[in-house]
Structure 1
């Protein structure tokens, strides 16, 4: 029982957190004490009283002790029932003692409200006080108990009223004091309970936070911030991810400054930004290069967050970092792919523009020259088609390396695509260096390329423009270098050419021609003229070639060599070519009826017209049939260039023309891409000797030998021969002597409009 009392009153680990538990503990303690004292005092007292002839006292002691023992043992009973049971016992003991012992026992009645205040609260205590005071008044007055009260010996009601008032006053003070004490205790317990709950939640949160920080993959570091020197921070916590990534042991980092993560690759501006954040106590997100224990560099995305204390001062700082090395590698790869050519490893167009912009900005400050070189590989297409794209790619990569070896460290070599390269030469003081570099590039590229056992040859044409001499706008410089490049190609390739104002004028003219050609046909500016083809044996004219002419109302006559390539590149050649064919067919129909039943007109057909452009085209054989002409009334002239890329579709279209009866002529034979294999695979009706041979035709000359050989070969293959550009009677005689069939040139007549051609045929 003693151990129960001690555990009930003194056990710190069982401190109750509210008044209910405090009162339950107090009730248990009072019952335990009462039971202990009862056993020690009441039992002997009952024995003595019984032996002295006071059995009622003995009975009362035994009943009271049994009552206390019952309440003490029945802990499962409701608390208030047990409390009221104890108060009732105390009250009855007080009443019985008042009746048997006398007024001196009123202290028991005073204990009832005090005990009620402790066990049940203010209201039950005031009720108990009122009951005890009333009981004292009634018992004292009715039994007129002897209680010394000077001045009131003969006034019992007044006497006991005075005693009751004093009893009530003392009882009220005791009761109210107990109640006030318990109210304060209750407030303290509530506050203590709230604090305990907050501490418990905080401890739980801290436990969870610590456990999470210790196990997350992010690097976590907490530093203590020095108030006197804010930028300096000592490490007080790191998680396992931090130790794993940096290769440090925990003891090697604790107490060390945050600069432990810095190294030679950590940018000074990044260090300054971190110091500013620590000094100002502000948050910061930054990407920087950190270093591990062994000096290895790695990228971190770092979040720095101050931890404020109750005074608002950031005494600690949380550092949470993520290793972004993989992301940085991916970004670098993306940047590399966006700015460099994958085949050659050279800068691409985007990076070239950036470098050129930087060079032009520097030129604006220092006045130095910037050179832009456009480089195109001559004959690369033939190499690529012959050896295949894989070897072609190897050639391009090697060409890029050779060009790079010819320029300086400050120069940029870029690949724009295909077989086109570009060089930017900034900060030039000596403009002569431009031509020297260009000549070096041409010399290096003309050397043979050895590609997996194969040998290939190309050359280079280079167009050059300079800033600020030729301008400073990037797009203009690109256009000018491109114009200079094409001028170099037109001049014979394998050479360099500088941009000139004349090229700009020619380019503007080209643009104007391309624009106005679209309306030239509708406006009647185009016309067809005819040049006779003479039978050299008889001098008769049964053939003519239809030639296209353009007379611009402002620019005057524009040569076919100017506008035909424009028509081909713009897609207008189909419409124009079909119009020329209809004009020639109409004239053939007329002249066959007027002059000769087998009169034939030849019409040039561009290689572009043989490609499938998707545009609506005139079916030439069908048109001839529709107007009542046989196929052989017209002949189609093609150039050797068409045969270079002759696809099955081209061969099929040529076959359809011949099947329809139309003759096919191979124009300009002996120049460009001449190959005897063409004559074997393509059955031509006419072979036209280019005027380049005819011009140099003299007795015993190489041209004479070649003409004789061409005529003999053509005749053996069943073809007739037409010589172009015949301008003298001597040339005509020599051609007749080697058996040439027909002649065409100014010796006979210039190209003429249809009306004039008819007068020519009539001999007028």
Structure 2
């Protein structure tokens, strides 16, 4: 390109500005340094200078940063890359707030003297410099610098062209800053400034590529009971606590470690480099200790514990979703263990999680598909073998896993709000089958026992639903006994008392199941309309060999006698347990020694017989 000094025409300067504008028009954050360097080379040639540079100001740290230069230099580290204004020479110092071009040139000397200096090689000491500011409103955001090893005079036309070109560079800078800000917002959490899920996934994708160093460890952190802070002090306080938590994570981790907030009170840390399970677990313990320190919020001094899950991934074998799923399973295991725990992922956790997911997936339509069935556990008078009652127990015929017991799916049903629907199905089905048995002339004086879930007990309209079901199948209320666990009774004693009173008006019996596992219900027992206590099987299994169990069972027997309550022992599996119960006045029992849970048809056959032979001299197995 012909330089302005050679032509001296306004047209050439205008063409130069247009050419620069064309090149800078499509520049983005990624291409800005390279294109800027190319443009600086053209400017150096066009204006006849030896060095050109582009610098951006960082007013937050009062410094100027080198973005591009011509000719390019390979300096590592480059001492001129970051210059603080407080330590800068006059040329750079002037660039902090300049609004107009700033020039530095040597004092004029005769031409023959200048030529002599050039011939001696010292002409570079006579250096002319110019700094043209980049402006954004009233803020000086950077500068374009020009250096001539010799004397350089700038014409008014050249200065106008420099201002126009500086304006173009300022527009590029604003665009780059906006892109950087958008990228930052897209990759960082707005509350804490930590990386967000998107940035974490991208980082793990890179770390797990084939050929990368491994293993790659992940720590999944979950604050315990943050909701208590939100409920007590408000969500603003909860946010403040999360910010303090994030700052402590920064302080306790290394520069290369990636910290991300997934949302709420969940955080993930990916240590830099290859970290094995022991080292990752040690880091988790260190973080637990640091995060336990108290935080002052609005005059309140608070602390929360943290649960942590640790998982490892192998580059080229594991995916990001695999690794995060394992870490999530591990932290759930820590939370389920009571919180404030650290769990390292194992294959066993994966199997449990796979099983639960399978259960949840198929459980949604279990009633519609007719996969539920009832088995019945007979209740026997151990003195005569007479069948006095039967307990309805739900079973699920899983499509691939076979017949599943309630422990396999009831907790899942509760977590997906299906427990109430399951409970209603059990009650209707049990009442329907029991009604059919009685209509056929059997089980006339027997009782059908039906378990009631906590969800059912507090549900609106539960009492009326029970009344309608009993009426629909023509049952005498006294032949129906609803069983609630002792723990449910004490969760909300007032609601329980009201519900049980309503059930007694309907005419059904009430039993407290698993009795003896807690003592808080004793203070309320007299005021509750209860008919039966069922001794928890944990106290019965080793009865006859365990004196502590015997002491508790004797106390429960005495309590039942004092309140004139019917008493049933659960879990009778050994003849010694049966004999001990009989010796101390407990006659009613159920358990594998007497009968295992059996299908509906088999239960009807037992009722038709009326008795189960009892001989406690040898174990009975049905």
TM-score class, shorter-chain normalisation, is 0.5 to 0.7
Higher relative contact order (CA 8 A, sep 6+): 2
Deviation readout 1:640-697 (Å, 9 max, x if unpaired): 5656764987776555434323333333344489665675886544443332222343
User: What secondary structure does 2:422 align onto?
Assistant: helix
Map 1:454-603 onto structure 2 (within 5 A). Answer: 460=307, 462-468=308-314, 471-488=317-334, 495-535=341-381, 540-552=386-398, 554-592=400-438, 594-603=441-450
CA–CA separation in structure 1 for the residues paired with 2:157 and 2:565:
108
Task: Say if 1:382 and 1:682 are closer, same or farther in 2 by CA, change over 3 A.
Answer: farther
**Contact 2:54–2:143 (Cα < 8 Å) also in 1:** no
User: Is 1:605 matched with 2:456?
Assistant: no
Does residue 228 in structure 1 map to residue 47 in structure 2?
A: yes
1:339 to 188, 209, 214: 188
- 2:554 counterpart (708, 713, 726): 708
**Structure 1, residues 486-511: CA drift from partner, whole Å, max 9, x if none?**
44556776654433445444444443
Cα offset, 1:727, TM superposition? 0.9
Q: How many residues align?
A: 489
Structure 2 counterpart SS, 1:725: coil
From 43, 54, 67, the equivalent of 1:269 is 67
* Residue-by-residue CA offset, 1:68-102 (whole Å, 9 max, x unaligned): xxxxxxxxxxxxxxxxxxxxxxxxxxxxxxxxxxx
Q: Does 1:759 align with 2:578?
A: no
Matches within 5 A, 1:185-584: 228-229=47-48, 265-269=63-67, 291-292=96-97, 315=161, 317-318=163-164, 339-340=188-189, 342=191, 349-350=197-198, 352-357=200-205, 359-360=207-208, 364=210, 366-376=212-222, 380=225, 407-417=253-263, 420-441=266-287, 460=307, 462-468=308-314, 471-488=317-334, 495-535=341-381, 540-552=386-398, 554-584=400-430
Partner SS state of residue 464, structure 1: strand
Check the 8 A contact 2:55/2:67 in 1, yes or no: no
Contact 2:55 2:64 (C-alpha < 8 Å) held by counterparts: no
Q: CA deviation at 1:749?
A: 0.9
Between the aligned partners of 2:466 and 2:419, the Cα distance in structure 1 is: 15
Consecutive unaligned residues of structure 2, counting only runs of 5 or more, are: 1-42, 72-93, 100-135, 145-154, 613-622
Distance, in Å, in 2 between the alignment partners of 1:411 and 1:314 is 49
**Contact 1:528 / 1:548 at 8 angstroms: preserved in 2?**
yes
Match in the other structure for 1:283: none
Judge conservation of contact 2:501–2:529 (CA < 8 Å) in 1: no
Q: TM-score, normalised by structure 2?
A: 0.61
**Residues 244-284 of structure 1: per-residue CA shift (max 9 Å, x gap):** xxxxxxxxxxxxx99898986333227889xxxxxxxxxxx
Alignment RMSD: 5.4
More displaced 10-residue stretch of structure 1: 422-431 or 488-497: 488-497
Partner residue, 1:240: none
Deviation, 1:433, is 0.3
How far did 1:528 drift? Answer: 0.4
Of stretches 540-549 and 672-681 in structure 1, the one that deviates more from structure 2 is 672-681
Residues 531 and 565, structure 2, Cα contact 8 Å, conserved in 1 = yes
Unpaired segments ≥5 residues, structure 1: 1-224, 234-256, 274-288
Deviation at 1:543, TM superposition (A): 1.9
Q: 1:435 to 1:533 in 2, by over 3 A?
A: same
Equivalents in 2 of 1:688, 1:677: separation in Å? Answer: 17
Give CA deviations for 1:498-556 in whole Å, capped at 9, x if unaligned. Answer: 33445444444443433334454444432101102234676543222111112345432
Which of 729, 732, 735 in structure 1 is aligned with 2:575?
729
Counterpart contact for 1:694–1:723, Cα < 8 Å: yes
* CA deviation after TM superposition for structure 1 residue 406, in Å: 5.9
Residues 742 and 259 (structure 1 numbering): CA distance in 2 closer, same or farther, change over 3 Å? closer
1:663 and 2:509 correspond: yes
Q: 1:514 to 1:702 in 2, by over 3 A?
A: same
Deviates more, 1:748-757 or 1:523-532: 523-532
Aligned to 1:743: 589
Partner Cα separation in structure 2 for residue 753 and residue 621 of structure 1: 26
CA distance in 2, matches of 1:415, 1:680: 52
Alpha carbons 1:567, 1:573 under 8 Å: kept: yes
Structure whose CA Rg is larger:
1
SS of structure 2 residue aligned to 1:665: strand
Mapped contact 1:377–1:419 kept (Cα < 8 A): yes
> How much has 1:403 moved relative to structure 2?
6.4
**Which range moved further: 332-341 or 484-493?**
332-341
Could you tell me how far apart the structure 2 residues matched to 1:572 and 1:403 are? 39
Deviations 1:563-585 (A, max 9, x none): 22333334444443322211210
Change (3 A) 1:500 1:647: same
Q: In the superposition, relative to structure 1, how do residues 724 and 232 fare at CA in structure 2: closer, same or farther (>3 Å)?
A: same
SS in 2 for 1:266: strand
Structure 1 residue 386 displacement after superposition: 10
Q: Is the 8 A contact 1:290 1:299 kept in 2?
A: no
The offset of 1:466, in angstroms, is 1.2
Cα distance, 1:415 vs structure 2: 4.6
Of Structure 1 and Structure 2, which has the larger fraction of its residues in helix? 1
